[in-house]
């Protein structure tokens, strides 16, 4: 199987790097600046247990000739529109597109551009970032990649992709309920991002503040209500576990969006919070906390865009 990884940042670089290290046929589609960095220093991954490095196979936009069997799309959601044209030459009649983006809006965008049959569902869980040297630094010992047909079908092609992903140094799992997992991840991520960015602290710090635990719980309820109105009600067990995790005393979690805010980097406010806000308004659901969080994040985004 020939895999094209679109993006060699923290997510694409990590999972693509693991696959390449395990001997899989992997090419990274990157822009000139990242390509120069990778050519000079290789793809460097730092993990809690050590790490690894390799010389990746690189393709620049405009240099792709011929379709790939699969594409691992691992860019930030706000960069999606900018890479559609770059990756288009790699999409053939049988190409599988496995997106690792947050939210759900990207599914509609990809289906509109490349057709419904091309798009798979995917969820990744990893805490990592690029450091000042361009190295991928894994911050915690979890690395999960989940994938499946959006309609839950156990197709031959998804079985082939699963076989390709296994044994590459991360936890790979084929899911027949991937759409539900994607919606549930969005519930968790939107709540975590909304509360930590709005309050400028970890969940543990929020819980320690007066009214903090109740604030997190009400934010979660509001997000879950919107997703339920969309026809994808989160399971009771999932909600109970999520509530317990986010409201635990001394809990360290903070969203990657919160880290991006602190670093002055672009954020996925529109895709993670704004899209939920719009869906809630269309369903006539009260969304005061989502509205507050999005207004707060929009101020930051507007400030960045004016520089």
Model pLDDT for residues 245-254, shown as the tens digit of each residue: 999 998 877 7
Q: Are the beta carbons of 120 and 149 closer than 8 angstroms?
A: yes
pLDDT score of 306: 82
CA atoms of 252 and 249, how far apart (whole Å):
9
Rg (CA), the chain: 19
Q: Are the beta carbons of 279 and 230 closer than 8 angstroms?
A: yes
Residues contacting residue 202 through CB under 8 Å, at least 6 positions apart: 196, 251, 252, 253, 254
| pLDDT, mean of residues 144-166 | 98
Segment 193-247, tens digit of pLDDT: 999 999 999 999 999 999 999 999 999 999 999 999 999 999 999 999 999 999 9
For residue 27, list its beta bridge partners: 4, 57
Is the dihedral angle over the CA atoms 183, 185, 187, 189 positive or is it negative?
Answer: negative
pLDDT score of 259: 87
Query: 55, 105, 141, 185: which one is catalytic?
Result: 185
- Catalytic annotation present for 141: no
Residue 151: burial class (beta carbons within 10 Å; 0-12, 13-18, 19+): exposed
Fold classification of 181-305 is 1.10.1040
Q: Where in the chain is the domain with CATH 1.10.1040.10?
A: 181-305
2-175 classified as CATH 3.40.50.970: no
Whether the per-residue pLDDT at 255 is higher than 90: the answer is no
Q: What angle do CA 267, 269, 279 make, to 5 degrees?
A: 160
pLDDT score of 15: 98
Whether the per-residue pLDDT at 170 is higher than 90: the answer is yes
| pLDDT, mean of residues 75-99 | 96
pLDDT score of 250: 87
Segment 6-62, tens digit of pLDDT: 999 999 999 999 999 999 999 999 999 999 999 999 999 999 989 999 999 999 999
CA atoms of 167 and 214, how far apart (whole Å):
42
Three-state DSSP class for residue 26? strand
Three-state DSSP class for residue 152? coil
Whether the per-residue pLDDT at 122 is higher than 90: the answer is yes
pLDDT score of 307: 73
The whole-model pTM stands at 0.94
The pLDDT > 70 percentage for the chain reads 100
The distance of Cα 24 from the centroid of its chain, to the nearest Å, equals 22
Average pLDDT, the chain: 95
Segment 89-108, tens digit of pLDDT: 999 999 999 999 999 999 99
CA atoms of 236 and 131, how far apart (whole Å):
38
Q: Where in the chain is the domain with CATH 3.40.50.720?
A: 2-175
Q: Tokens representing 156?
A: 């031959």
CA atoms of 119 and 108, how far apart (whole Å):
9
| pLDDT, mean of residues 171-182 | 97
For residue 98, list its beta bridge partners: 72
């Amino acid at each position: 199987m020939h895999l094209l990884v679109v993006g060699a940042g923290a997510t694409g670089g990590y999972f693509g790097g693991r696959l390449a290290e395990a001997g899989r046929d992997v090419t990274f589609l990157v822009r000139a600046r990242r390509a120069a960095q990778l050519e000079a220093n290789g793809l460097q991954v730092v993990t809690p247990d050590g790490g690894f490095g390799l010389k990746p196979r690189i393709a620049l936009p405009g240099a792709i000739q011929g379709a790939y069997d699969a594409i691992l799309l691992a860019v930030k959601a706000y960069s999606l529109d900018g890479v559609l044209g770059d990756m288009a030459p790699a999409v053939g009649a049988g190409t599988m597109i496995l997106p690792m983006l947050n939210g759900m809006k990207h599914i509609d965008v990809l289906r509109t551009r490349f057709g419904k049959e091309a798009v798979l569902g995917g969820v990744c869980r990893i805490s990592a970032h690029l450091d000042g040297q361009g190295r991928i630094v894994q911050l915690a010992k979890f690395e999960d990649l989940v994938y499946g047909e959006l309609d839950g079908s156990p197709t031959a092609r998804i079985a082939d992709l699963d076989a390709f992903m296994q044994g590459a140094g991360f936890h790979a799992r084929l899911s027949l309920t991937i759409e539900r997992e994607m919606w549930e991840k969005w519930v968790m991520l939107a709540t975590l991002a909304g509360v930590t960015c709005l309050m400028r602290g970890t969940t543990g710090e929020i819980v320690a503040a007066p009214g903090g635990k109740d604030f997190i719980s009400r934010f979660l309820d509001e997000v879950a209500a919107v997703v339920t109105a969309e026809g994808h009600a989160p399971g009771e067990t999932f909600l109970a576990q999520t509530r317990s995790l986010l409201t635990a005393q001394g809990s360290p979690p903070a969203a990657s969006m919160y880290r991006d805010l602190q670093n002055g980097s672009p954020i996925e406010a529109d895709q993670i919070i704004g899209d939920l806000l719009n869906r809630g308004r269309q369903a006539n659901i009260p969304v005061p906390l989502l509205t507050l969080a999005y207004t707060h994040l929009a101020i930051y985004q507007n400030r960045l865009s004016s520089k």
